[in-house]
Amino acid sequence: MATINPREDQDGITIGWQAIVRKKGYPSQSKTFRTKRDAEAWARLTESAMERGLWQNQSDADSTTLADALDRYGREVSSLKKSGKIELYRIGTLKTDKIAKLHLSRIRGADLAEYRDRRLAAGLSDSSVRLELAILSNLYTVAMKEWRMEGLRNPVLAVRKPAPGKARDRRLLPGEEIRLLSECAPLLKATILFALETGMRKGEIQKLLWKDVDLGKCTAKLFDTKNGEDRTIPLSGRAIVVLKALPRNINGKVFPGADISHSFTAACKRADIADLHFHDLRHEATSRFFEKGLNPMQVGAITGHKTLQMLKRYTHLRAEDLAKLLG
């Protein structure tokens, strides 16, 4: 049976109406509304849902702000991911927006559409906005499945997402490799050459240990990679030359030292090379594998790409090179 009680201020003036629903077998539910009509309507809907066995508890969703949910999601989900640091940074940004003050059950597609437009207007890329919306969408999924908020609906599903960003297709231009290497300290030069020969990710290069390199068999073992699988890669003759020139500590890292990205960016600036990222070297290396005649399965075994679709974005071979293959 529902009870509707007035809420009064200190002067005895009615400022709202509290609906309370009590039904055997269900926890008591209460909610406050500005009008008595809204309170009665909510009570009827709640009682009807209970009678038909369709009621789902939303009390947690009603009392949990998006900011609080993001904190929990960061602890329980993001922190366990390999890309956790990046995702936690995005979560921190999300928490600074006014939408974070809303309760989970109150957020609608319109709220997220406004958030999307604010972020785009602030100069954020389409891809970055898509990633932020993806975090919110997965947060709602986790809340519904694991946080006892079964009655929630995922409002992200109602929002148009920005178009996916075009994958980078940056290749080294003629002369850029020589100019870049001429501006590098010895260790950075070795790191760049090794990246171009192996197609390894920056993180994989930074974690590579001497004990996992077999100069005799010309192989290197990579563990805990981005796709979650270990793999053994072949080392070219040029890669072996690079390794043999480096000082060795059997229990140490092959490429120890400071932040690669910062050093790489500085070297590009000195070499007057624009819009080149360290990760572009992976794309360059992968494209060179194809230009050497390796098939997709062979390339995937080296680079760690799991599917042909993933490799497709790395095979934008130059038209003139394809023409040479055609004869």
What pLDDT, in 10s, does the model give residues 40-79?
Answer: 998 998 888 888 877 766 677 778 899 999 999 999 999 9
Of 158, 188, 222, the domain-final residue: 158
| CATH code of the domain covering residue 141 | 1.10.150.130
| DSSP state, residue 248 | -
Same structural domain, 71 and 183: no
Q: How far apart are CA 108 and CA 243, in angstroms?
A: 56
* 170 occurs within a structural domain: no
* 187 occurs within a structural domain: yes
* 258 occurs within a structural domain: yes
Q: Which residues are catalytic?
A: 201, 226, 279, 282, 305, 314
pLDDT band (50, 70, 90) for residue 307:
confident
Same structural domain, 71 and 43: no
Sign of CA dihedral 146, 152, 153, 156: negative
* Pairs from 320-326 (Cβ < 8 Å, separation ≥ 24): 321/291
* 129 occurs within a structural domain: yes
Supply the pLDDT for residue 258. Answer: 64
Domain hosting 202: range is: 176-326
Per-residue model confidence as pLDDT tens digits over 100-139: 999 998 899 999 999 999 999 999 889 899 999 999 999 9
Supply the pLDDT for residue 117. Answer: 96
* 256 occurs within a structural domain: yes
Same structural domain, 241 and 317: yes
Q: pTM higher than 0.75 for the full model?
A: no
In whole numbers, what is the pLDDT of the chain averaged over residues? Answer: 88
Lowest mean pLDDT among 49-63, 88-102, 245-259, 281-295: 49-63
> How many angstroms separate the Cα of 59 from the Cα of each of 38, 103, 172?
18, 11, 56
Same structural domain, 302 and 225: yes
Q: How far apart are CA 135 and CA 45, in angstroms?
A: 32
* 168 occurs within a structural domain: no
Q: How far apart are CA 87 and CA 225, in angstroms?
A: 18
Same structural domain, 187 and 289: yes
Whether 8 has a pLDDT exceeding 70, the answer reads yes
Beta pairing class for 29-33 and 213-214: unpaired
Query: Between the ranges 22-31, 152-161, 224-233, where is the mean pLDDT highest?
Result: 152-161
* 167 occurs within a structural domain: no
* 267 occurs within a structural domain: yes
Same structural domain, 199 and 259: yes
Supply the pLDDT for residue 57. Answer: 65
| CATH code of the domain covering residue 293 | 1.10.443.10
Same structural domain, 125 and 256: no
Same structural domain, 45 and 100: no
Of 12, 31, 55, the domain-final residue: 55
E strand residue ranges, 127-180: none
Supply the pLDDT for residue 1. Answer: 72
Same structural domain, 301 and 318: yes
- The tally of domains found in the chain comes to 3
pLDDT band (50, 70, 90) for residue 322:
low
CB-based contact 199:302 (threshold 8 Å): yes
Supply the pLDDT for residue 132. Answer: 96
Same structural domain, 188 and 240: yes
Same structural domain, 286 and 200: yes
Lowest mean pLDDT among 56-60, 185-189, 230-234: 56-60
Supply the pLDDT for residue 185. Answer: 92
Supply the pLDDT for residue 63. Answer: 80
Supply the pLDDT for residue 224. Answer: 78
Supply the pLDDT for residue 318. Answer: 57
Query: CA torsion angle for 264, 266, 272, 274 (degrees, to 10)?
Result: 60
Same structural domain, 33 and 82: no
CB-based contact 39:54 (threshold 8 Å): no
